[in-house]
Amino acid sequence: MTIVVYTAPTTEPVSIAEVMAHCRIDSTSQEPAPGAVTAALAGTPIAGNVDNGAHRYLATFVTADGETQAGTVSSAVTVADKTVNGKVELTAIPLGGALVTSRKLYRTAAGGSTYLLLATIANNTATTYTDNIADSSLGAGAPSTNTTDDPLLRMLITSARIAAETELHRYLITQTLDAYFDAFPDESPYEIRLPPLASVSSITYVDTDGTTQTLAVDQYSVDIKTIPARISPAYGVAWPSTRTQNNAVTVRFVAGYGAAADVPQCIRNWMLMRIKTLYDTREQIIVGPSGMVQIPPAFIDSLLDPERVTSRV
| Full 3-state SS string of the chain | CEEEEEECCCCCCCCHHHHHHHCCCCHHHCCCCCCCCEEEECCCCCCCCCCCEEECEEEEEECCCCECCCCCCCCCEEECCHHHHCCEEEECCCCCCCCCCEEEEEEECCCCCCEEEEEEECCCCCCCEEECCCHHHCCCECCCCCCCCCHHHHHHHHHHHHHHHHHHCCCCECEEEEEEECCCCCCCCCCEEECCCCEEEEEEEECCCCCEEECCHHHEEEECCCCCEEEEECCCCCCCCCCCCCCCEEEEEEECCECHHHCCHHHHHHHHHHHHHHHHCCCCEEEECCEEEECCHHHHHHCCHHHCCCCCC
Q: Does residue 311 surpass a pLDDT of 60?
A: no
Lowest mean pLDDT among 63-67, 93-97, 149-153, 249-253: 149-153
The pLDDT score that the predictor gives to residue 304 is 78
47 domain-assigned: yes
Are residues 37 and 119 both part of a single domain? Answer: yes
24 domain-assigned: no
Environment class of 265 (CB within 10 Å of its CB; exposed 0-12, middle 13-18, buried 19+): exposed
Are residues 203 and 114 both part of a single domain? Answer: no
Lowest mean pLDDT among 78-82, 91-95, 167-171, 308-312: 308-312
Are residues 41 and 130 both part of a single domain? Answer: yes
The pLDDT score that the predictor gives to residue 312 is 46
Of 224, 244, 260, the last residue of a domain is 260
State the total domains in the chain: 3
145 domain-assigned: no
142 domain-assigned: no
The pLDDT score that the predictor gives to residue 310 is 66
The pLDDT score that the predictor gives to residue 244 is 96
Q: Does residue 151 surpass a pLDDT of 80?
A: no
Q: Mean of the pLDDT values across residues 20-30?
A: 78
Are residues 218 and 284 both part of a single domain? Answer: no
The pLDDT score that the predictor gives to residue 204 is 97
pLDDT per residue over 132-141, tens digit each? 999 999 999 9
298: which residues sit within 8 A by CB, 6+ positions away? none
Are residues 53 and 78 both part of a single domain? Answer: yes
Of 137, 171, 196, the last residue of a domain is 137
218 domain-assigned: yes
84 domain-assigned: yes
Q: Mean of the pLDDT values across residues 18-24?
A: 87
Q: Does residue 293 surpass a pLDDT of 80?
A: no
Are residues 104 and 204 both part of a single domain? Answer: no
Which residue range is the domain that position 282 belongs to? 267-307
Are residues 219 and 240 both part of a single domain? Answer: yes
38 domain-assigned: yes
Q: Mean of the pLDDT values across residues 51-69?
A: 94
Are residues 177 and 238 both part of a single domain? Answer: yes
pLDDT per residue over 171-230, tens digit each? 999 999 999 999 999 887 888 888 888 999 999 999 999 999 999 999 999 999 988 899
Are residues 126 and 203 both part of a single domain? Answer: no
pLDDT per residue over 112-137, tens digit each? 999 999 999 999 999 999 999 999 99
**How much is the pTM?**
0.63
Are residues 273 and 252 both part of a single domain? Answer: no
